[in-house]
Structure 1
Amino acid sequence: MVYKEVFTFNPFQENTYLLWDDEGNGIIFDPGCHNYEERKIITEFIESKRIQLKYCLNTHAHIDHVMGVHYIKEHFKVPFALHPKDLPLLNDAANRAAVYGFPAFQAVEVDRFLVDNEVIEIGEMKLKVLFVPGHAPGHVAFYLEEQGWLIDGDVLFRRSIGRTDFPLCNHADLVNSIQNELYVLPEETEVFPGHGGSTTIGIEKIQNPFVRA
């Protein structure tokens, strides 16, 4: 069985997801924990469940989604994976942190580059990487077909979509990603976005005011 926990971190109210299986294999997605208190919360949870983290996977590299990557990577000794097209955003993270008045961003190296349509298998967890650019040039989503779960970062939200007014965003790409990569998934697929509550593909195809099926 695969379990899921969501933590909402930093002033942007970013959702950090943690998945683990019965054997204790764990994956963390988009760690946004940006201070001691938030890092303590997630560390104590991981330790209390006796989870052995195997990967830190990021949907993209906007500052609110990477503020905890250095800590997670160093504290738990896990590899960090990102799509190569998001390297410019990761390399600019220190500047973005300064703009928003956050503590100095600690640079982090990518250990593994994600590839469109690759399948990552860790214990009972099997994730397909979907390339969904638009909100970020190297944005990806992680689809767990067996569980019917989609961790999609800042692409599709409950009754909304990701912003495209940041540098390197592209609205046409975002709409294309949603229509051709996400809306083709089973309608009962649960969507777990980078901000706010969950939804389903079926609901968004009908009710999303920005991108209809």
Structure 2
Amino acid sequence: MIHIESFTFNPFAENTFVLHDETGEAIFVDPGNHNQQEHDVLNTYVQSNNLKPVQIINTHAHIDHVLGIAYLKRKYGIPFSLHPIDEPLLKAVKVYAPNYGFPGFDEPEVEQWLEEGDVVTFGNSSLRVLHVPGHAPGHVAFVQDEQRFVMGGDVLFRQSIGRTDLPGGDHNTLLRSICTKLFPLGDDYTVYAGHMEPTTIGFEKKHNPFLTNS
């Protein structure tokens, strides 16, 4: 069974996740840790739970979700996976990072590309990949059907949705991704988002002002 631990990091209040199961193998999802204090928080969690990190997977490549990747790759000697359409967004981060107060951004190399239909595995666990563009062109979500949850990144929030005014964003595409890819999962699926607290598909169908008429 997968345990999900979340940490809120960096000035963007981004949710970084550590997922692990009974084997002790773990993955990082969207690591936004950006300084030594935040690095230490993750490392302490890994050590205190006797975890073995095996991979980093990202929903997308906006700055707040990629700040910790290079550090964790070096620290644990693990690969990083991303959807190929988001590679230009990743490459752009080092150009604009100084404007957001991150002059020393360390751009990570991508070892594995994610596509819809792929399955990410660790320990006895697996997550299937959905392509859900709109907030970012290569945005993906990671779905766990047995435990009924989705790591949704910046697609669907509690009573909100991801912004679409950034490069590669498109409002109609985002709504289509939510309605055709996430909503069919089932009302009882928990959505662990890139910001704010978790929500459920059913709650957002009823109460999300961006979606109640979709």
What range is the shorter-chain TM-score in?
over 0.9
Q: Kindly, what percent of the aligned residue pairs are identical?
A: 47
Partner of 1:210: 210
In 2: Cα distance, 1:60 partner to 1:121 partner: 19
Instruction: Tell me the CA shift for residue 124 of structure 1.
Output: 2.2
Unaligned runs of 5+ in 2: none
In 2: Cα distance, 1:125 partner to 1:149 partner: 13
Partner of 1:186: 186
Unaligned runs of 5+ in 1: none
What is the alpha-carbon root mean square deviation over aligned residues? Answer: 0.9
Partner of 2:81: 81
SS of equivalent residue, structure 1 residue 183: helix
Tell me the matched-pair count. 213
SS of equivalent residue, structure 2 residue 72: helix
In 1: Cα distance, 2:50 partner to 2:197 partner: 27
Deviation track 1:138-172 (CA, whole Å, cap 9, x = no partner) reads 00000011111110000000000000011111111
Partner of 1:120: 120
TM-score, normalization by structure 1: 0.98
Counterpart check, 1:134 vs 2:134: yes
User: One-letter code of the match for 1:190?
Assistant: T
SS of equivalent residue, structure 2 residue 179: helix
Partner of 1:163: 163
SS of equivalent residue, structure 2 residue 185: coil
In 2: Cα distance, 1:121 partner to 1:69 partner: 19
In 2: Cα distance, 1:121 partner to 1:14 partner: 24
Counterpart check, 1:49 vs 2:49: yes
SS of equivalent residue, structure 1 residue 92: helix
TM-score, normalization by structure 2: 0.97
Partner of 1:152: 152
Instruction: Tell me the CA shift for residue 103 of structure 1.
Output: 3.7
